[in-house]
Structure 1
Amino acid sequence: MENNFKMIAKTFFGFEEILAKELIMLGAQDVEPGVRMVSFKGDKGFMYKANVSLRTALKILKPIYHFRASTEEHLYKGISGIHWSKYLHADQTFVIDTTVHSDHFKHSQYVSQKSKDAIVDQFRSRFGQRPSVEKDHPDLRINIHIDKDQVSVALDTSGRSLHQRGYRTATNIAPINEVLGAGMLLLSGWDGQGDFLDPMCGSGTLLIEAAMIACNIPANINRREFGFEKWNDWDNELFDTITDSLLKKVREFHYTITGYDKAPSAVQKAKDNVINANLQEYIKISEKNFFDTQKETKGPLHIAFNPPYGERLDIQMERFYREIGDTLKKEYPGTNAWMITANLEALKFVGLRPSRKIKLFNGSLEARLVKYEMYEGSKRTKFQMDREDEEAPEVEQIQDTNEEQENQN
């Protein structure tokens, strides 16, 4: 416990609670959800474990210093107060990522430049040489966050964003972010205890994330590199012990995971990515138009998909979303269907009332994750229609609650 230190896991809006749950399940201490982030404590081994395991984290930061600054002189002095030789050698490289929410500092690039000057000046003064800036593959990635006059300096333990899992080498137009996909699945309640279908699978991201959740495979086990691997205190033996322990907890999956896409190129890309993730044993992908299909499995079916929004794909939106509703209603009884869309107007044409509606963001686009419950048989269909009418206020309440939370944030 005495070797524990504070860390911050960055995430998307709406994923704070499920990320906190992930951290608690992993064994993190002092877990506290915030806005687009969750703070927690752990040791070096847990830092490795969190980066390899977490499905809904974008970054894991390790705060090292905090100070107040309202001028560039205060900023320079504060950054100079850190003993950078503890984290970086003069012959290594670094880069600074900055976010600014302050009236005192207007431009993040200027803050990064001023902070860089403070670091290299310290090395020149102490060692007669200085580290270089490297944007693509630095030895150390530094994160600076300024809120009003509060400056937080952290080391980026992850390096590149954790959504870059390492399995997706082929993409289509408008692919879903891997962290967004995993969070969407976790919010939908997907736990691998049933059959799964993505009827518009694109490059296969949701299929792969669904299989990794079902089999309890660490999210970033295929990732080639983490930021901490270039740190001065990198412990390769400890990292191997952590990953071996995580892989021992992988479980078997006894249901089906199926993907459809009507584009042959998308099907091939999805298959390639599934092979990259070593999940071809669990995932079956076919070239099919969802609107010409029907439910092929018995029992409950979990559907999750990311339909086109119309932002970068040219489709007849009203007709397209109406066909989604018609296909679900007529051909997929006994299913829970979840989809995410940033085209909020198009949702009106689905013709089904969602039983849940969750506010999320897909990049800069405000989106909704919606759930449609499809029941077996005519009596259940009638019950569903009655239930939809009863649940309408609840759906609006969920939406209003999310919007109120966003306003407070």
Structure 2
Amino acid sequence: MQENFTMVAKTLFGFEDLLEKELLQLGAQNIKKGVRSVSFVGDKGFMYKSNLALRTAIKILKPIKTFRVNNEQDLYNKIYAMDWSAYLKPTGSLAIDATIHSDLFKHSLFIAQKVKDAIVDKFRDTDGQRPNVDLKFPDLKINVRIDRKECTISLDSSGDSLHKRGYKLATNIAPINEVLAAGLIMLSGWDGQSDFMDPMCGSGTMLIEAAMIACNIPPNLMRKEFAFERWHDWDVDLFEKIEESLLNKTRDFHHTITGYDKAPSAVTKAKENVKNAQLEDFITIKHEDFFKTQKGGENKLHMVFNPPYGERLNIDMQEFYKNIGDTLKQNYANTDAWFITSNLDALKYVGLRPSRKIQLYNAKLESRLVKYEIYAGSKKAKHME
């Protein structure tokens, strides 16, 4: 039997409920929601599974020590006192990442340096050798978090952020983060039971995430590496078993997923990424200007997109958002249209009343995910049925 331990999954603001639900469905124990994070309990196999299968997690951390700190020297002494040989060889390499929420400590880089000094000094004193720093491919990635006077030392089991799925070869300007895209689609209630469209698909991220959700494909199958693969206790047989069990849970999809973009370069990039994700059977991408299109057929359409905003492109916001509203109203009956925007003023030009608004952040920009329900016929008639 493997030992259970506490882990922390980091996420984006506003995605905590989604991540909690994902962890529950995966089988995590003792789930506790925080801000931009959810803690849970599982074993080593579950750590592998959560890195492979969670769509809204950015990192999976394994806390190994928590203590109070009063100053830099106190931090150094307590790090030095830990048994680092359990995690790292003296000939190995390490990288340290620090986040600080404290009046006592101001500079995260200085704290990371202090922790590194304590670890390498300990190895030098006990083994006569010291590990090197390797910021790109370390054998051990350590996360230090200081909240007021409480310091938590964690091992980073993921390495690179989990939004780096591995399928994206080509991007256009300001591509949407894969975790953000997956979270938006999940918040929109997409369940793979209708047709899906991204009418401004850019490099295709939203389409690929939608297809993986519809088919229940683990999002991180294509990653080149996770940090835990360099740990002392790496178990490749267990990892492959977990991978296989997740692949056995994929499902069929019987609807369409379509992307439009008016830039030929975006269409080319999107097609490359879809091919790389091995999802060409499910996704069709066309070179179209959304404002000149109309919905094909009577079927219900689920639309999620990330329209351009002032930070990215020089466009007339008033006209652009008015065109979104007009196109939806005139040409897309029986559609649930969701989009995210950080241009909160521009929403009034859409000319439709949103049925939902969810506050989120796109990078550091405060944003809204809005939903517009476009009925077939009039709304009044719909309610009288």
* 3-state SS of 1:260 partner: strand
Matching of residues 247-396 of structure 1 within 5 Å = 247-377=247-377, 380-382=378-380
Q: How many residue pairs align between the two structures?
A: 384
What's the CA shift for 1:383?
Answer: 5.2
What's the CA shift for 1:385?
Answer: 11
What's the CA shift for 1:137?
Answer: 1.2
What is residue 87 of structure 1 aligned with on the other side?
Answer: 87
Q: Which amino acid aligns with 1:311?
A: E
After superposition, what is the alpha-carbon deviation per residue over 1:90-128, rounded to whole angstroms, capped at 9, x for unaligned? 111110000001111000000000100000000000100
What is residue 407 of structure 1 aligned with on the other side?
Answer: none
Write the distance in 1 (CA, Å) between the matches of 2:284 and 2:348.
32
After superposition, what is the alpha-carbon deviation per residue over 1:32-87, rounded to whole angstroms, capped at 9, x for unaligned? 11100000000000000000000000000000001111211111011112111110
Matching of residues 140-151 of structure 1 within 5 Å = 140-151=140-151
Matching of residues 55-204 of structure 1 within 5 Å = 55-204=55-204
Write the distance in 2 (CA, Å) between the matches of 1:160 and 1:235.
20
What's the CA shift for 1:381?
Answer: 3.7
Whether contact under 8 Å (1:49, 1:243) holds in the other structure is: yes
Aligned CA RMSD, in angstroms, stands at 1.2
What's the CA shift for 1:382?
Answer: 4.1
What's the CA shift for 1:298?
Answer: 2.4
After superposition, what is the alpha-carbon deviation per residue over 1:226-282, rounded to whole angstroms, capped at 9, x for unaligned? 010000100000000000010011111110000000000000000000001000000
After superposition, what is the alpha-carbon deviation per residue over 1:339-380, rounded to whole angstroms, capped at 9, x for unaligned? 001111111111111000000000000000000000001xx2
After superposition, what is the alpha-carbon deviation per residue over 1:180-219, rounded to whole angstroms, capped at 9, x for unaligned? 0000000000010010000000000000000000000001
After superposition, what is the alpha-carbon deviation per residue over 1:300-332, rounded to whole angstroms, capped at 9, x for unaligned? 100000001110211111100100000000000
What's the CA shift for 1:384?
Answer: 7.4
Whether contact under 8 Å (1:7, 1:62) holds in the other structure is: yes
Matching of residues 202-281 of structure 1 within 5 Å = 202-281=202-281
Write the distance in 1 (CA, Å) between the matches of 2:245 and 2:159.
23
Instruction: Mark the runs of 5 or more structure 2 residues left unpaired by the alignment.
Output: none
* 3-state SS of 2:164 partner: coil
* 3-state SS of 1:103 partner: coil
Write the distance in 1 (CA, Å) between the matches of 2:359 and 2:81.
42
* 3-state SS of 1:345 partner: helix
Whether contact under 8 Å (1:342, 1:362) holds in the other structure is: yes
Instruction: Mark the runs of 5 or more structure 1 residues left unpaired by the alignment.
Output: 387-409
What's the CA shift for 1:174?
Answer: 1.1
* 3-state SS of 1:165 partner: coil
Whether contact under 8 Å (1:374, 1:384) holds in the other structure is: no
* 3-state SS of 1:51 partner: helix
Write the distance in 2 (CA, Å) between the matches of 1:250 and 1:385.
37
Q: Which amino acid aligns with 2:349?
A: F
Whether contact under 8 Å (2:141, 2:156) holds in the other structure is: yes
Q: Which amino acid aligns with 1:18?
A: L
* 3-state SS of 2:166 partner: coil
Q: Which amino acid aligns with 2:278?
A: N
Q: Percent identity?
A: 62
Whether contact under 8 Å (2:97, 2:143) holds in the other structure is: yes
Write the distance in 2 (CA, Å) between the matches of 1:383 and 1:262.
35
Write the distance in 2 (CA, Å) between the matches of 1:369 and 1:350.
14
Write the distance in 2 (CA, Å) between the matches of 1:162 and 1:84.
26
Write the distance in 1 (CA, Å) between the matches of 2:216 and 2:2.
30
Whether contact under 8 Å (1:303, 1:337) holds in the other structure is: yes
Whether contact under 8 Å (1:192, 1:253) holds in the other structure is: yes
Q: Which amino acid aligns with 1:246?
A: L
* 3-state SS of 1:250 partner: coil
Whether contact under 8 Å (1:274, 1:280) holds in the other structure is: yes
Q: Which amino acid aligns with 1:27?
A: G
Write the distance in 2 (CA, Å) between the matches of 1:64 and 1:133.
20
Whether contact under 8 Å (1:143, 1:153) holds in the other structure is: yes
Q: Which amino acid aligns with 1:194?
A: S
Whether contact under 8 Å (2:2, 2:44) holds in the other structure is: no
